[in-house]
Amino acid sequence: MYTYLLIAILIGAGLYFFIRTKALPLRLFAESVRVVTEKPQDEKSISSFRALMLSTASRVGVGNIAGVASAVALGGAGAVFWMWLIAFLGASTAFVESTLAQVYKRRSAHGHSYGGPAHYIEQALKTPWLGYIFAFSLIATYVGGFNLVASYSVKEAFSTYGFFNEATTPYVIGLILAVLVAGAVFGGIKKLSSVTVVLVPLMAMIYIVLSLVLIVVNITQVPAVFAEIFRSAFDFQAIFGAFAGSAVMQGIKRGLYSNEAGVGSAPNAAATASVSHPVKQGLVQMLSVWIDTAIICTATALAVLSSGIEGSEDLKGVPLVQDAWATVFGSMGPHMVTAALCVFAFTTLIGNYSYAESNLQFILRREPRQWELMLFRGASAVIVFAGAIAEFSLA
């Protein structure tokens, strides 16, 4: 389903919204940048910028490094073009789903806004049972699935180091991650937004600047890289010869997984913002898709492709990026990639948790009691620990 049906639905929705909004991602791009800086209606509420950083924290994660490198290794340079196309369409979907989150958001007894797809499925579609299915699915996927994978990926990034001991190191990594995540999530959504508002822009800027350094050093290769991106994107013989592993499929899957447009995750962050009009938060979340795919994913792809390191079935993901960075930064390159991966994974972990807590509130039909929150947050930290000591086979 993930390979074909779900992809067709998400692309179809993106194309439909792009047409119905009359190419809104292009027409109102400048406006989306402007509204990010607007102050919240209520000083105690979460601003548009904080909501943007919270959703970007979840979007920008392990996939921006490991996933993009794997897509390029398995699908070729053409996968980058299809990632761009998905971001182009996904921005329209992100606008619509996040605007709806603002329209149908609710306020807690403490005055905090909350909402998301589960809420507007119930209110707009009059199908509360479907809202429950969505809420349970999101909690299972983001806290149970994605956070396991993010924690596992951090462990894997350290597996190439000499000090790594299969019997003990995963437990140490898992414990450190679990403690850090617990420290963030036990403070609540407001605390989470305070963490992400600092970490996300800082980590993104450092990673982008370092990627640009690598690209500039290999600037003579860049024209050939862009030529290869467009050539292999439309190499239809290769595409239809092995469609599941082609540039089209790899780029589409990576774009959809990374920017999460249409998945229903970011609207949970969008609903927490205090804005003067619902559309403004839709524009802000549209910008998050561009940040994730058009900027950060592209930075990874161009850095790898311009380095001259060839990806393959045996050399993909984090090791491929580490080898690419080593061509410019020497022995420090792999360490820098590992550090970036750790920070990306951490912000993903806490961003994913924030979505889950919002949907827990929907399921309970009230604000969770303190002991319920403590149990839920504790279980989330345990899952993070479990991911580091587990063994997966990731595509």
CB 92 within 8 A of CB 12: no
> What's the burial of 126, exposed, middle or buried (CB within 10 Å: 0-12/13-18/19+)?
exposed
Cα–Cα distance, 376 to 384 (Å, whole number)? 13
Residue type, 389: I
Instruction: Choose among 73, 68, 89, 80: nearest CA to 230.
Output: 80
Tokens at 125, concatenated: 């579609």
The tens place of each residue's pLDDT in the chain, 395 residues long, gives 456 777 788 888 899 999 999 988 889 888 888 888 877 766 666 778 878 887 777 777 778 888 888 888 888 888 889 888 888 888 999 999 999 999 998 887 776 788 899 999 999 999 999 999 999 999 999 998 889 988 988 888 888 788 888 889 999 999 999 998 898 888 766 666 677 777 778 888 899 999 999 999 999 999 999 999 988 887 655 455 444 456 667 777 777 777 777 888 889 988 888 888 899 889 988 888 888 888 999 999 999 999 988 877 777 888 899 999 999 999 999 999 999 888 888 888 888 898 898 899 999 988 888 899 899 999 999 999 999 998 766 55
Residue type, 178: A
Alpha helices for the chain (secondary structure H): 5-20, 24-27, 29-35, 48-59, 66-75, 78-103, 117-124, 128-139, 147-158, 169-185, 188-217, 222-233, 236-241, 247-259, 266-270, 278-289, 298-307, 317-329, 332-364, 370-389
CB 218 within 8 A of CB 306: yes
Instruction: Choose among 363, 348, 368: nearest CA to 148.
Output: 348
Angle at 299 between CA 198 and CA 36, to 5 degrees: 40
CB 59 within 8 A of CB 266: yes
Please give the DSSP secondary-structure letter assigned to residue 46.
B
**Would you put residue 126 in left (φ > 0), alpha (ψ -120 to 50) or beta?**
left
CB 106 within 8 A of CB 115: yes
Residue for token pair 């604000």:
367
User: Would you kindly state where each structural domain of the chain is located, as residue ranges?
Assistant: 41-389
What Å distances lie between residue 346 and 164, 179, 250, CA to CA?
20, 11, 25
